[in-house]
Amino acid sequence: GDSVTQTEGLVTVTEGLPVKLNCTYQTTYLTIAFFWYVQYLNEAPQVLLKSSTDNKRTEHQGFHATLHKSSSSFHLQKSSAQLSDSALYYCALPNASSGSWQLIFGSGTQLTVMP
Amino acid sequence: ETAVFQTPNYHVTQVGNEVSFNCKQTLGHDTMYWYKQDSKKLLKIMFSYNNKQLIVNETVPRRFSPQSSDKAHLNLRIKSVEPEDSAVYLCASSRDRGDTEVFFGKGTRLTVV
């Protein structure tokens, strides 16, 4: 079945340095969108980035990600991490194998930005 | 801006009790979901529901059941809670399309003692 893999459970980075969160996926369906969600402490998960186009860079709030269907990847990057970026990040893809659209999430990456 | 509202925020109960959590969305979406976020922060879908069908994740124990009065409300009932049910339960909604965002509530944290 479809799956999303986030290899890092915890990432710690110093403020001002670049950060990269990895996401790869496996799908047997024609998936038309890929997402990164962010969850701040005691808040609801919310969409950070969405991409539907292969090899096109998508940016939001200083983060960027490029969907690469050839390598089944959708990594999240930021050139200069900020303290406020500390949060839980999920990669997700929609799946309709059950007959209705559902989001499948990766295991999440906890990002901590240190001063 | 919150558009998916969940109550209560927290609930502590004893093993064997029945609990119910409420969820309402004001986005006019036709599909609602319940997700479970466990202690390792894994997000797993439990149910998806729209006016056409209820989809149940096959791993969800039978003591869990969704209850809907209309497309804006989807409650979750747990008949006889067990310790492994301690988690955050997140309600969400979306349009029934593959490229659309899913909007989440803040969750109900359940602790079973």
Write down all domains in chain B, each with its CATH number in brackets: 4-112 (2.60.40.10)
Any bridge partners for residue A39, and if so which? A88
For B29-84, write each residue's pLDDT tens digit: 989 999 999 999 999 999 888 876 787 787 899 999 999 888 899 999 999 999 99
- Peptide bond connecting B8 to the previous residue in cis, omega within 30 degrees of 0: yes
Q: Is pLDDT at B27 greater than 80 in this prediction?
A: yes
Residues A19, A11: Cα–Cα separation, whole Å:
8
Residue A56's alpha-carbon distances to A16, A46, A66, A71, in angstroms, are 25, 22, 6, 14
CB burial class (10 A; 0-12, 13-18, 19+) of residue A14?
exposed
- The region that residue A55 occupies, defined by phi over 0 for left and psi between -120 and 50 for alpha, beta otherwise, is left
pLDDT given at position B98? 64
Residues A54, B68: Cα–Cα separation, whole Å:
38
Q: What average pLDDT does this structure show over B90-99?
A: 83
DSSP label at residue A68: B
What domains lie within chain A, and their CATH numbers?
3-114 (2.60.40.10)
Do residue B99 and residue A94 have CB atoms under 8 angstroms apart?
A: yes
pLDDT given at position B79? 96
Do residue A108 and residue B50 have CB atoms under 8 angstroms apart?
A: no
Across the interface, of B2, B4, B53, the residue whose CB is closest to A100 is B53
pLDDT given at position A113? 98
Q: What number of other Cβ atoms are within 10 A of residue B59's Cβ? A: 9
Across the interface, of A47, A96, A105, the residue whose CB is closest to B43 is A105
pLDDT given at position B52? 67
Do residue B104 and residue A108 have CB atoms under 8 angstroms apart?
A: no
Is A98 in CB contact (< 8 Å) with chain B? yes
pLDDT given at position A95? 80
pLDDT given at position A23? 97
pLDDT given at position A19? 98
Any bridge partners for residue A87, and if so which? A111
Better-scored residue on pLDDT, B96 or A5: A5
Give residues with Cβ within 8 angstroms of B82, minimum separation 6.
B15, B63, B112
Residues A60, A68: Cα–Cα separation, whole Å:
18
Instruction: Single out the residue of A99, A42, A9 nearest to residue B40, CA to CA.
Output: A9
Residue ranges of chain A with per-residue pLDDT less than 70: 30-31
Please, what is the average pLDDT of chain B?
A: 92
Do residue B101 and residue A102 have CB atoms under 8 angstroms apart?
A: no
pLDDT given at position B99? 67
Sorting pLDDT into bands at 50, 70 and 90, what band is B95? confident
Residues A5, A24: Cα–Cα separation, whole Å:
5
pLDDT given at position A31? 65
